[in-house]
Every structure is written in C-alpha cells, then in structure tokens.
Chain A
C-alpha cells in the first residue's frame, strides 16, 4: 500500500511540475514541412511568407504561407479578424497581411478537405515579422 501512495504522490507531483512548465515555456518554431497529419489537434508555432490572401464575403480571411520547403493554409475566421483589428500587442493592421509579408502563426493544427491548416485563436497568435 505504501508503494501505491508513493506512486500516486510521484504522479501528482510530476503533473504539477508539468503544469508549471506548460504555463511558462515558450514554443519553438516548427518548419511547415514538419507539420503533418500526426499533429492534428495539437498546438504549433510556425512561420512563413504570405503567398496568397483571399477575403471571404463572410469576413473570413484565408492566408497561404510558405517557407523554403512547404506551404500551409492559415484561416482567419471573422471573430479572429474582428479581434485582430480591434487590437493586438504589436498594433499590426489587417492591411499588412499581404503577399510577401513574413508572418509567425501560433495555433492548433487542423484539417479541412484533406489539407492541413493552422488556426490562430487570439490576436497575438499572429505576428507580422516583416512587412513587404
């Protein structure tokens, strides 16, 4: 029984430490080519140049970004677009999200019609590193 308590205590201590680490650690940039279907549902931080921007009538914006090896879809849904426009810590504007700009996106990997995408949630999940 002592061993059960010891294992339970070690598990809880480990989970507490993992939680502290989860709250404090900054994500590392993942190259687009390394974002595969195995990562669907998981968070990633990636970066790339915008090669295409499409504005949808419902207020969504669809970006295609590219690094040296691969391309990726970044959908910005209307709720995100409104929040981004209302304010983000770098005071970036939607008009700066244009072809040739280098952006960094943090979000959850998703899949839509067989293609992978990274969906940012908060305005600060999308950063413009270089404005063309």
Chain B
C-alpha cells in the first residue's frame, strides 16, 4: 500500500512538473486524462493520490514560466511583474525561492486555519457576500489614488476602465469558451505586453545569481506576514465565488498585506497553495468540490471520510516537499539554459509559443483578445503606471457580480 502510494505520488509529481513548466497548461486541462489513468490505479485512494500530487506540484512549478519567461496563467499572473523585476536584477532564483517559501508556509498554516475555523466558513461567507462589491470598489478607488499625481491617477483610471471593459466583454459573452477565457487575457496583459516592451529595451538577460547562502532581500517578519495574509486569502478565494487568486493578491496588497515585490511573490504563491488545500478540504467540510482537482477526487472517491482527508493531507504535505525541491532545482537550471540563448531570439520564441498556444486552445477570437489585452498592457507601461491596474479585467467583473449588475450590463450591451 505504502509503496503504491509513493509510486502514484511520484507519477503525479512527474506529470505536475511537466504541466507546471508548460505555459498555458492547467490542472483542469489534465483532469480528463487523470480520470482515465485512474482506471489503472487499483484503488480510489491511489487515483486520488495521483490527482492531488499533480495538482500541488503544478501549483509550485507554474511559477517558473511566470517568472522566467513571463508566461502566466490566471493563478500566477500577479507573479509576473515582481518576478520580472527580480529577474532583471539578476535575482530570478531568489524570486523562485520566495514562491517556494510562500507555498510551503501557507500550505501548513492554511491547514491549521482550516482545521481551526472549519465551522465558521459558511457564516463568514454569508457575512461577507453582501458587502464584497463595496470592498472591491474601495480597493479600486485606493489603487487609483495610490498613484498620487493627478496625471498618473487619470492614466490608472483609464487602464482600469479599458481592462474592465475587456473583462466585461470576454467574461460575459461567448467570444471564448469560459473555461479558457483567461488564457489570452492574462497572456496578453501580463505576458506579451511585458515581452514586447523588454524586447525593444534590452538586448540580453542579466547574469543570474543562484547562491543559496545569499540572504533573501526581505525581513523574516515580512515573510511571516505575507504567509499569514496568503493563508487567509487562499481560504477566502476557496469559499467566495468569483474571487480568483490574482484578485485576492491585489486585495491583500491594499488591505495591509505586503507591498514589496518580494513580499508579493510570497503572498501570490501562498494564496495558490492555500486555495488548493482548501479546495480539497472543502470536499469533506462542505461536501462540494471547489476546483478541477477536487471535482476529480470526488468523482473517484465519492463521499470523503475523515481517514481519506487525513491520508490526502499527508500526501499533499509530502508531495509539497518534493515539488518545492524540484522547483528550486529548476529555478537554478532554467536561467542557465536561458542564458545560453540570445535574449531577443528567446523572447521572440516565447512570444511565438504563447501566440501559438492561445491560437491552438482558443482559435482566432483568442488571438483578437490576446492582441487587445497586449495593447492595454503596453498602454499601461507607456503611461508609466503600475501594471497591476490591468487587474481591472477581473475586479470590475467581480464587483458587478456581487452588486448583481451583470444581467443589466449584459442586456444593455446585448452580448448574450
């Protein structure tokens, strides 16, 4: 039994590593394949071990393409900017290390939070839901005002408005399959836009340091604070529908969370992992799956017992250790490989790859959305305001959802 568990966990780590480093690949894309593989697993718990291992490994590894090639998915979009900043300072490995610290810390702390607050989630959900649009509206106002200068505030408002309009159009219509809608949006806003700008500005990637003995450029207290915020926000994402990882990362930044690039990397990675842990636990706590992976686990096991949960949490913790090691290893290897390639050639290849992936998954309308998102991302850059304003693409849509305005806007625009 133990040997079988190790074998399926190892297979899960291998598949999760591949899915994590491949831009555009997500656990939800793999679920049908994993379900078909589970037929050969022998027992439901073996199959669940495989799925949980793929899911948790992918969460750690998907920071690699976000940081080194600027190719994010919906969950890692907010890692691209601080990741790229550290990369341009030759500190790409430190960026990876911070995401690993955030992931491991938040996994453990969120499990404690979940165990301690299991009975209060429904109450918190009912309590917070009627006020969520006010919270988001306040955050949007604060984001604009934080630019301080009137010209920059106007620019920030313009970017928020344009990205918000894009979100409303894409996320409320049939332009794209909703399961894939965020791929071209985030690849354009945060990936392609940055690459086009850096392609024009830089001719080579700076040499990267991978010395483990070097101190992290963030105080321990700030790391601890980021992990606490991430653990709480990850659970919030789990039980609050329509609030995604990237929005939660922006919200925490403006609600007292860390505002430095390093702190933000710890937080974003932590939210991802805490959300994944909560998704699995919610199967037992509230009997409903909250993610693609937990849907698959529910299909295989049905109703989870306490024993199943404890077993899968054990798998999750063990695999997280292995995935963290793998992420750090690749965090050292990938920059060395990338350094061998001419920077402009590499950037061109990645841009071509992202465009091809978007076209393969979402077709011609995906390319149109990619072009529009990249234009908004570049506008943000040329106006000299923070790229996080592009998160208007989700914030406006989420605010409308909680305010109950979606049907009205859809009717006015006549897009459904």
Residues of A within 8 A of B (CB): 3-4, 7-8, 10-12, 14-15, 17-19, 21-23, 25-28, 30, 33-34, 36-45, 69, 106, 108, 111, 114-115, 121
A19 touches B169 (CB 8 A): yes
Across the interface, which residues of B come within 8 angstroms of A30, CB to CB?
177-179
Across the interface, which residues of A come within 8 angstroms of B371, CB to CB?
10, 14
Across the interface, which residues of A come within 8 angstroms of B369, CB to CB?
14, 18
A-B contact count (CB 8 A): 124
Roughly how many angstroms separate A34 CA and B299 CA in the complex, as a whole number?
Answer: 13
B407 touches A108 (CB 8 A): yes
Is B28 on the interface with A (CB-CB < 8 A)? yes
Within 235-293 of B, Cβ neighbours of A (below 8 Å) are at: 241-242, 244, 286-292
Across the interface, which residues of A come within 8 angstroms of B295, CB to CB?
33, 36
Within 392-407 of B, Cβ neighbours of A (below 8 Å) are at: 397-398, 401, 406-407
Across the interface, which residues of B come within 8 angstroms of A39, CB to CB?
178-179
Across the interface, which residues of A come within 8 angstroms of B286, CB to CB?
114
Roughly how many angstroms separate A106 CA and B174 CA in the complex, as a whole number?
Answer: 11
Roughly how many angstroms separate A109 CA and B177 CA in the complex, as a whole number?
Answer: 13
Is B120 on the interface with A (CB-CB < 8 A)? no
Q: Residue-by-residue, is B173-196 near A (CB-CB < 8 Å gives 1, otherwise 0)?
A: 111011101000000000000000
Q: Residue-by-residue, is B369-389 near A (CB-CB < 8 Å gives 1, otherwise 0)?
A: 101110110110011000000
B178 touches A15 (CB 8 A): no
Is B415 on the interface with A (CB-CB < 8 A)? yes
Known pairs A36-B291, A36-B292; A18 contacts B166 (CB<8 A)? yes
Interface of B is mostly: helix
B372 touches A43 (CB 8 A): no
A43 touches B368 (CB 8 A): no
A15 touches B169 (CB 8 A): yes
A7 touches B178 (CB 8 A): no
Across the interface, which residues of B come within 8 angstroms of A106, CB to CB?
416
A18 touches B175 (CB 8 A): yes
- 10 residue pairs of the A-B complex, CB under 8 angstroms, read A4-B383, A7-B375, A14-B372, A14-B373, A17-B368, A18-B169, A22-B175, A28-B177, A30-B179, A37-B291
Q: Name A43's contact: one of B165, B178, B299 (CB within 8 Å).
A: B178
Within 344-372 of B, Cβ neighbours of A (below 8 Å) are at: 365, 368-369, 371-372
A18 touches B372 (CB 8 A): yes
A42 touches B365 (CB 8 A): no
Return the chain B residue nearest A34 by Cβ: B179
Q: Name B372's contact: one of A11, A27, A69 (CB within 8 Å).
A: A11
B375 touches A21 (CB 8 A): no
Roughly how many angstroms separate A108 CA and B409 CA in the complex, as a whole number?
Answer: 13
Across the interface, which residues of B come within 8 angstroms of A38, CB to CB?
28, 179, 244, 291-292
A43 touches B382 (CB 8 A): no
Roughly how many angstroms separate A14 CA and B368 CA in the complex, as a whole number?
Answer: 7
Q: Which 7 A-B pairs have the closest CB atoms?
A: A14-B372, A22-B173, A27-B174, A40-B241, A10-B375, A7-B379, A41-B401
A108 touches B365 (CB 8 A): no
Return the chain B residue nearest A44 by Cβ: B178
B375 touches A11 (CB 8 A): yes
B166 to chain A, nearest CB (A): 6
Across the interface, which residues of A come within 8 angstroms of B373, CB to CB?
14
Roughly how many angstroms separate A18 CA and B414 CA in the complex, as a whole number?
Answer: 13
B291 touches A19 (CB 8 A): no
Known pairs A7-B378, A38-B291; A25 contacts B372 (CB<8 A)? no
Return the chain A residue nearest B416 by Cβ: A43
B397 touches A18 (CB 8 A): no
Across the interface, which residues of B come within 8 angstroms of A12, CB to CB?
162
Is B172 on the interface with A (CB-CB < 8 A)? yes
A26 touches B162 (CB 8 A): no
Roughly how many angstroms separate A127 CA and B267 CA in the complex, as a whole number?
Answer: 45
Q: Name A8's contact: one of B287, B379, B397 (CB within 8 Å).
A: B379
